[in-house]
Chain A
Amino acid sequence: MKVTLVSRSGREFIKGGLELNDSATVADLQEAIHKRTKKFYPSRQRLTLPVPSGSRERPVILNYKKSLKDYCDGNENTLTIVFKDLGPQVSYRTLFFFEYLGPLILYPVFYYFPVYKYFGYEEKRVIHPVQTYALYYWCFHYFKRIMETFFIHRFSHATSPLSNVFRNCAYYWTFGSYIAYYVNHPLYTPVSDLQMKIGFGFGIVCQLANFYCHIILKNLRSPDGSGGYQIPRGFLFNIVTCANYTTEIYQWLGFNIATQTVAGYVFLVVATSIMTNWALAKHRRLKKMEGRSTPEDGLFFLHSCRTDR
């Protein structure tokens, strides 16, 4: 069959179109485009069905596993596809690794090295126990994240634009340094021993719960990442849609209860709002899959309460 490729402005993207087998899949089409254009490897390609002009509907994105025939509207011999370049892409593994590496390395710098000398403070300082525990907690947290990135998480086909590496690293590395500066400060004021124990204890429990959530999510997919989006069940997923985000948020709350810095709480608020956005989007996506029509209610602390069981 003949596939005509156009850009979003309507211009023909590949002159003369591409000739493919009638039984070809979208993945085959992506390979063909890559072969012709060299620069646009498959994860950079965004292929959609044309939307009638004036229509406000979101375009249908082609699924790489489906065959092209599935998208033919009746006319089996020709197909018009809209192409968009997503820009250079990186795998999620790469993105996550660099995001998390920053906090893992930068935080100990503030703990171990005489950084505060350059801010005008004397070199000698007393280290409170809570500051040491905070170092272990923090580093364990980001070490756990990196391990999960390589050994637990099963990423679907998806990649992320290269520009996100800079944006996300700026976010994690800046906040990491900002918090590390205050927790390890020579003039740091610790909270009570009890409060510290409650904070770290609660945080560790949440991190363990978070790890278990990730295991559940992992088992929804096969090792190569196929399996798409499914509704997770069991454990905390019976109460909230995105239990992994919930436990992550509460884990940071534990850290902040123990260390008590404005910087830490600012980070908590920002991270919570970002994850809330993600949770609402995922909740909407999953509901659409199941075809349920009941409106969800986001109880903010619990990240989109489940209404379906």
Chain B
Amino acid sequence: MASALTVLRRLYLSIYNWLVFIGWFQVLFLALKALKESGHEHVYNAVEKPLLLAQSAAVMEILHGLIGLVRSPVSSTLPQIGSRLYLTWGILWSFPEIIRYSFFGMKEAFGFAPSWHLWLRYSTFLVLYPTGISSEVGLIYFALPYIKASEKYCFRMPNKWNFSFDYFYAAILALGIYVPGSPHLYHYMLGQRKRALSKSKKE
């Protein structure tokens, strides 16, 4: 009984990871294509659909951690996914995502991943995290005046449940979270890198 569940789990995780890999690959491909053919203003339109799909699928990862399907702690996946969900920007994130998902896809489907793959997974973040995070923060910052003017996603008082939501202030709060959040995540990845790469050396 237990082994049937294990097989099912591996099958599910294989399919999930390869699917999301394809999603991010699509994002990168379409982004570069639009960039080359039409210029940077058209990139978002080109990637919007696969990007939203791939990014939202990442919510599943929080669930996977919560129900114990994978070992990643929720406390690090939640802010990681949360930040990407907040802002979807394709190119920089598609690189590490392509690497990461194909890595997991390999492990789940074939039981192993080559050492260069492992190295890529735990090294590309060194550059891509700072650049990716800076692009997120920059984009939120530039979008602020538009958010305020458009009043999008705002829920006002008075109402029966004495509740309100202001997208503008939520955006500012999100920017604030980046301040402690980014060093914490980067530090965590550095630790993971040390563990993963030293473990593979030992084997």
Q: Which residues of A contact B (CB under 8 A)?
A: 182-183, 185, 187-189, 259-263
CB of A263 within 8 A of CB of B158, answer: no
Overall SS of chain B's interface = loop
Which partner residue on chain B sits nearest A185 by CB separation? B157
Q: Which residues of B contact A (CB under 8 A)?
A: 157-164
Residues on the A chain within 8 Å of B161, using CB: 260-262
Q: List 5 A-B contacts (CB under 8 A).
A: A182-B163, A189-B162, A260-B160, A260-B161, A260-B162
- Whose C-beta in chain B lies nearest to the C-beta of A183? B162
Q: Is the beta-carbon distance between A188 and B158 smaller than 8 angstroms? A: yes
Measured between alpha carbons, how far is A185 from B162 in the docked complex, in Å? 9
The smallest beta-carbon distance between B102 and chain A, in angstroms, is: 33
Q: How far is the CA of A262 from the CA of B165 in the complex (A)?
A: 11
Complexed CA–CA distance, A262 and B162 (Å)? 7
A-B pairs with lowest CB-CB distance, top 8: A262-B163, A187-B157, A187-B158, A261-B162, A189-B158, A182-B162, A262-B161, A188-B162
B contact residues around A185 at 8 Å (CB): 157, 162
Q: Which residues of B contact A188 (CB under 8 A)?
A: 157-158, 162
Q: Contact at B163–A261, with CB atoms within 8 Å? A: yes
Considering the chains assembled together, what is the distance between the CA atoms of A262 and B158 in angstroms?
A: 13
The CB with the most chain A CB atoms within 10 A, among B158, B160, B162, B163, is that of B162
Residue of A nearest to B160 (CB): A189
Which residues does chain B contribute within 8 Å of A261, judged by CB atoms? 161-163
Question: Nearest chain A CB to B2's CB is how many angstroms away?
Answer: 19
Contacts of B160 in A (CB 8 A): 189, 260
Per the bound structure, the CA–CA distance linking A182 and B159 in Å amounts to 11
Measured CA separation A183–B164 after assembly (Å): 12
B159, closest chain A residue (CB):
A189
* A187-B158, A260-B161, A262-B163 known, 8 other contacts, Cβ within 8 Å: A182-B164, A185-B162, A188-B157, A188-B158, A189-B158, A260-B160, A260-B162, A261-B163
- Chain A residues with Cβ below 8 Å from B158 are 187-189
B162 / chain A contacts, CB cutoff of 8 Å: 182-183, 185, 188-189, 259-263
Residues of B within 8 A of A260 (CB): 160-162
CB distance from B105 to the nearest CB of A (A): 30
A261→B159 CA distance, assembly (Å): 10
Which residue of A is nearest B164, CB measured? A182
A250 to B160, CA, bound (A): 22
Bound Cα distance A187, B159 (Å): 8
Smallest CB–CB gap between A199 and chain B, Å?
A: 14
Q: Which residue of A lies closest to B161 (CB)?
A: A262
User: Which residue from chain B places its CB closest to the CB of A191 in the assembled complex?
Assistant: B160
Complex Cα gap A259–B164 (Å) = 15
Determine whether the beta carbon of B157 is less than 8 Å from that of A263.
Answer: no
**Distance of A261 Cα from B163 Cα, bound (Å):** 6
CA distance A183 to B158 in the complex (A): 12
- Which A residues lie within 8 Å of B157 (CB)? 185, 187-189
Closest to A264 in B: B162
